[in-house]
């Protein structure tokens, strides 16, 4: 298998160090069997770099929520041209936020590890199919 691009690894939720192991198990919208792996199954990277590390993901999730809410409100206006009913906008924005919550949970953590973590760097020698190596 060839080297994985950064964009492809982010979209697929792969480990930021080896770009091979899955950061999450289960489907994004699968009830009961989804969550984040503690360690990368391929290279062994411990994802929670320090205790409470993912509290910072709340800020990334907040930014995603704001962008999605504005996008949904603008799309609602463009599609309906309704300026009279705040309930339409409230329903669309809140419904959209609820539907996108699992997406925000995953991608806030992925973006935090890829873009906002100075301690985690891509290691090209780990981006191989060989699993018998010392970590």
In sequence order, what DSSP letters do the residues of 10-69 get, joined into one string?
Answer: HHHTB-TTTS-SBSEES-TT-SSS-EE-SB-TTT--BSS-STTGGGGHHHHHHHHHHHHH
Which segments of the chain have a pLDDT < 70? 1-2, 130-135
Best CA proximity match to 34, nearest among 121, 107, 124, 106: 106
* Per-state percent for the chain, helix, strand, coil, to nearest 5: 50, 5, 45
Residue 34: per-residue pLDDT = 84
Residue 59: Cβ within 10 Å count: 12
Residue 4: per-residue pLDDT = 74
Residue 63: per-residue pLDDT = 96
The model carries a pTM of 0.83
Residue 135: per-residue pLDDT = 47
- List C-alpha distances in Å: 23 to 11, 17, 27, 103: 11, 11, 12, 14
């Amino acid at each position: 298998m060839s080297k994985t691009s950064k964009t492809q690894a982010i979209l697929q939720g792969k480990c930021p160090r080896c770009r091979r192991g899955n950061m999450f198990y289960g489907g994004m919208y699968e009830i009961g069997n989804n969550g984040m792996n503690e360690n990368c199954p391929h290279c062994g990277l411990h994802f929670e770099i320090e205790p409470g590390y993912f509290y910072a993901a709340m800020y990334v999730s907040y930014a995603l929520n704001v962008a999605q809410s504005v996008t949904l409100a603008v799309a609602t206006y463009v599609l309906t041209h309704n300026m009279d009913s705040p309930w339409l906008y409230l329903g669309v924005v809140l419904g959209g936020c609820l539907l996108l919550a699992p997406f925000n949970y995953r991608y806030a953590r992925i973006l935090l590890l890829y873009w906002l973590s100075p301690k985690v760097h891509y290691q090209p020698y780990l981006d191989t199919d060989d699993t018998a190596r010392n970590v």
